[in-house]
Amino acid sequence: MQLLRKIAFPFSLLYAMVVYLRNLCYDTGIFNSKTFDTPTICIGNLSTGGSGKTPMIEWILKHLDKTKSVAVLSRGYKRKSKGFLFVKPDLSPEEAGDEPLQIATKFSNTVVAVDPNRQRGIGILEDQVAPDLILLDDAYQHRKVKASFYVLLTAYSQLYTHDWYLPTGNLRDHKNQAKRANLIIVTKCPAQLAEEEQKQIIRSLAPKPKQQVLFCTLDYMEQVIGVDKTRSLESFATEEVLLVTAIADPEPLLQYLKTKGIRYNHRRFPDHHYFSENEISEFNKAAVILTTEKDFTRMGGKVTNAYYLGVEHKFLNEGKENFVKQLNSL
């Protein structure tokens, strides 16, 4: 795979030129971006997956002023339905998309919708829901909409400044588009990230004068949640565990489980993979399944011996309070 990526380097140069010219057309007004009356917060990245967008949306939802009515608009990546759809907890992952369904299930007071056309989606939400605030999931590249506030995520292990363009690297947007971010968050950092290394990363990112840079780590829950019961993660240390992941970057989870002494056989699938009936049947034959919350959502309660390990972002440096204040002021 790495050899193929190197061979594809000329194509990555072409890709970089295309995304640069596309953005230039928006930056200079040749292409138009639409601004809406409802404040919008865009959460996204410059690369393909693995930066923790869904946990960040959940973190924001937990910290927003509870008097605000909030809607989340997502594309619903790899869902089988078309067009605009309000996401309800009783929908299947295939209909709603795994991440939107996860959010809708956990945040009952939040309206969740999916639509690949962000302009249309926002318009329907304004007409039918009239929320105080709309969170745009994975919309950094959707420049037909100009958001009120941009949150750019970049993973500690693959900073966008150290990455290259598809297909040689993982960048799907030009590096210079980091300039549109109001806030840059370095995700999946080591829990004990030294202050000096934070300063080095900030120098590497070279933020604009008004851009704030925050750092966060993944904080895993102590309890794992199953179809009808919960257990402590430590209780898995004495069992033969089948770990099932279909996420972009399972490495932080693998490292965490090793620190907890959990031994596992790992079945890794592509990101957003929908499990077949044969795979579900295979999982049910295992003594116990450990998986992520997104994968657990996609299993749809069909794997009775499955448990998921929840995770959330935990900020490491000062500035979190100012971030929340900015969001609530929109």
| Pair (124, 186) in one structural domain | yes
Q: Tens digit of pLDDT for each residue in 229-242?
A: 999 999 999 998 99
- pLDDT at 287 exceeding the cut of 90: yes
| Pair (304, 167) in one structural domain | no
- Per-residue pLDDT, 181: 98
| Pair (86, 184) in one structural domain | yes
- pLDDT at 6 exceeding the cut of 90: no
- pLDDT at 1 exceeding the cut of 70: no
| Pair (168, 237) in one structural domain | no
- Per-residue pLDDT, 3: 77
- The residue segments making up the domain with residue 146 are 2-217+315-328
The closest of 178, 159, 164, 145 to 15, measured between CA atoms, is 164
Q: Tens digit of pLDDT for each residue in 39-50?
A: 999 999 999 978
Q: Tens digit of pLDDT for each residue in 80-124?
A: 999 999 999 999 999 999 999 999 999 999 999 999 999 999 999
| Pair (174, 72) in one structural domain | yes
| Pair (321, 191) in one structural domain | yes
The CA distance from 59 to 40, in Å, is 16
Domain count, the chain: 2
| Pair (183, 238) in one structural domain | no
- pLDDT at 212 exceeding the cut of 70: yes
Both tokens assigned to 96: 């709603």
Strand ranges for the chain from DSSP E: 40-45, 70-74, 85-86, 111-114, 133-137, 149-155, 183-187, 212-226, 230-232, 241-245, 264-268, 288-291, 306-315
- Per-residue pLDDT, 4: 79
Region label for 300, one of left (φ > 0), alpha (ψ between -120 and 50) or beta (otherwise): left
- Mean predicted lDDT score pLDDT of the chain: 95
| Pair (36, 183) in one structural domain | yes
Percent of the chain with pLDDT over 70: 100
| Pair (118, 241) in one structural domain | no
| Pair (52, 193) in one structural domain | yes
Q: The domain spanning residue 226 has which CATH number? A: 3.40.50
| Pair (243, 96) in one structural domain | no
